[in-house]
Amino acid sequence: MSFEIIFVFFLLAAALALFSTDYVSFDIAALLIMISLLATGILSPSEGLAGFSNPATLTVAAMFVLSEGLRRTGLLNTIGQLFTERIKENYWGGLIQMLLFISFCSAFINNTAVVVIFIPIVIHIANRIDVSPSKLLMPLSFAGIFGGTCTLIGTSTNILVSSIAQDQGMEPFSMFSFAPVGLMFLASGFIYLFVYGIPRIPARREHKQLTKGYKMQEYLTDVVVTEESDLAGHIFHPEELTNALDLDVLRIFKPDSDSSAQRNEVKIEAGDILRIRGSAKEIDKLLKSNEFMLKPAHEWTDTDLMKGRDALVEAVIAPESSLIGKTLESVDFFERFGAVPLAVRQHGELQQEKLGKLKLEGGSTILLSMSKDRVQEVDRNPSFIVASEIGEMRSRPDKTFPVLAIMLGVVAAAALNIVPIVVSALAGVALMVLTGCISAEEAYQAVNWKVIILLAGVIPLGTAMNKTGAASLMADQMIFWLSGLGPRAVLSGFFGLTMGITAIMSNNASAALLAPIAIQTAQSLDVNAYPFLFAVTFAASLSFITPFGYQTNTLIYGAGKYEFTDFTKIGLPLNILFWILATIFIPVIWPF
């Protein structure tokens, strides 16, 4: 093997390691790979930087904006609320209608965006009908994944592999190329969910009250400022009280008012009540002086933390959030959002103490005490998904028809081959901005730039694998092990391999790494490459066995209080079912 092939294999191993761990974020890992290929001269600058101008990268960016434009109309929220009454009247009938609607939307809007919109809606529905939200959130995620596999624009993975095929001299996928097998997966997936899956999903999240769900009873305390307190007569500065203790002052209450006051810029007087988050041990340290007097304990409810202009918000850290890897202390929630973190649920574990040193991860859920007038700041921030009903965005219903017309035009133009999807998608973005459906600033904010950097960084690795011959060498190994069983066995091997890799790393990364190998394998076997590409594409999207294999699973992980094994128990049989169906039917729809 040449140095170039050895180095590409080294980068491939490094990519697998970096994408499946938290050592660096996946976008930085992709950039390091791209820089390495440029620095060694394996790729020229034009080849190494081509990922930024690749049609897949631009199309995915445009779809983020188009999805955001539709989200801001409030249409999906309005329709989602209609399912509350339907499910209340007929649980199973209403549930299947809602999940089918989610799948339909996910076929034409980025499926992650659809799930983001429906998380608070589904939690509200579950509370209204007295069902654990855990029973509905996993089906929500799975339905979004099912729908995303049915069209070219349903998920960024489909767009990416289509672009890779085009770069290899093949015809790109059409808008509905995925539909025959995608609809089969959707139908079989729904049958599986309603016959086997949903009845076996554990009811992990039981409490309608967030304070009870996050076990805040022992971590909330009211103390009264005494006459002897040094704070009396001075403007309150939180750090003076909490600098040496693991405590946070949530609000300050004046004895002559039931409404809450701001946490800072308040003049403290004797008799004022400070509501504090902290353990009993830390409160005992505070009470050793005579500056504070403990108020009698009582049963805390959400209402206690939602008086006046106070809000209690449950926020999920988005899978590609810029906050991943940062500590709560470094983020400074109060400075940025006027919010105080009360507790964090991460990897199925709940933490209420030493929050400042806790590193955030994708899917972590944070319980925040904050002002109602600043909730929209959190809701608009792409780093968060607000799971609380209060997070519903102010809608623009007057833009509903223009947005729908633009979306229909984008899909129709691409489906009828009038223009390539990248052209119709970018034209749709321009029309949305020009018609005021979304502002230019909102359009920039809607793009998940970490995903864009990921695509731009991993596409050159596929180019390098082809250019150096590394892809051909790996294809030869796949053929050596499976070719004796026929091309169908090789296709099945690619599906299983992609499915396994996607369970521990980004679906886009796994598709970008394996698609070039699939093409080379087909060429070596002298068979049609499309069945292999469809196998890789479907397997990269249909990941159910871990909460990290697909973004929508990560989003509902903390919100549903799931354990890691819940996804394996429900998702593994589903993945095996799809693996068998793919092995049988993909070669039937797209013959070798």
Instruction: List, for residues 274-307, the tens digit of each pLDDT value.
Output: 888 888 888 888 887 778 888 887 788 888 788 7
The pLDDT score that the predictor gives to residue 240 is 63
Residue 389: count of CB within 10 angstroms of its CB: 13
- How far apart (Å, rounded) are the C-alpha atoms in residues 320 and 506? 10
Note the Cα 216 to chain centre separation in Å.
Answer: 26
Q: What is the SS3 assignment for 83? A: helix
Q: How far apart are CA 497 and CA 518, in angstroms?
A: 11
Which are the contacts of 550, defined by CB distance < 8 A and separation ≥ 6? 141, 145, 502, 507, 541, 543, 544
Q: What is the per-residue burial (b if ≥16 Cβ within 10 Å, else e) of 500-512?
A: ebbbbbbbbbbbb
**Residues near 13 by Cβ (< 8 Å), separated by ≥ 6?**
none
- Give strand ranges (E) for 240-392: 248-253, 273-277, 292-294, 310-317, 339-346, 349-351, 365-371, 384-386
DSSP H helical ranges for 278-367: 280-286, 328-331, 333-337
Strands 339-346, 365-371: pairing kind: antiparallel
What percent of the chain has a predicted confidence (pLDDT) above 70?
Answer: 95
Inter-CA distances, 568 with 118, 192, 507, 547, 576, Å: 23, 15, 17, 9, 11
% of the chain at pLDDT higher than 90: 28
pLDDT value at position 348?
A: 75
User: E strands, 182-247, where?
Assistant: 220-225
- Residues 426-444 have a mean pLDDT of 92
Bigger pLDDT: 309 vs 159: 159
Please tell me the predicted confidence (pLDDT) of residue 95: 92
| pLDDT score of 394 | 61
Q: Which residues contact 26 (CB under 8 A, 6 or more apart)?
A: 18, 19, 320, 450, 454, 505, 506, 509
- Residue 539's pLDDT is 94
> pLDDT averaged over the chain?
86
**Is the pLDDT assigned to residue 88 strictly greater than 70?**
yes
User: Across residues 56-60, what is the average pLDDT?
Assistant: 89
261 has a pLDDT exceeding 70: no
Structural domains of the chain in order of their starting residue, each with its CATH number = 217-299 (3.30.70.1450), 313-339+354-391 (no CATH)
| CA-to-CA dists, residue 486 to 422, 524, 576, 583, angstroms | 37, 13, 20, 12
Give the Cα separation of 324 and 319 in Å (integer): 8
139 within 8 A of 97, measured Cβ to Cβ:
no
Q: C-alpha distances in angstroms, 437 versus 113, 395, 402, 548?
A: 17, 11, 7, 33
CA distances from 490 to 184, 345, 500 (A): 22, 42, 15
- Residue 13 pLDDT level (bands cut at 50, 70, 90): confident
Would you say residue 309 has pLDDT above 80? no
Q: How confident is the model at residue 391 (pLDDT cuts 50, 70, 90)?
A: very low
| Long-range contacts, stretch 583-587, CB < 8 angstroms, 24+ apart | 583/488, 583/491, 583/492, 583/495, 585/181, 585/184, 586/181, 586/491, 586/531, 586/534, 586/535, 586/538, 587/487, 587/488, 587/491, 587/531
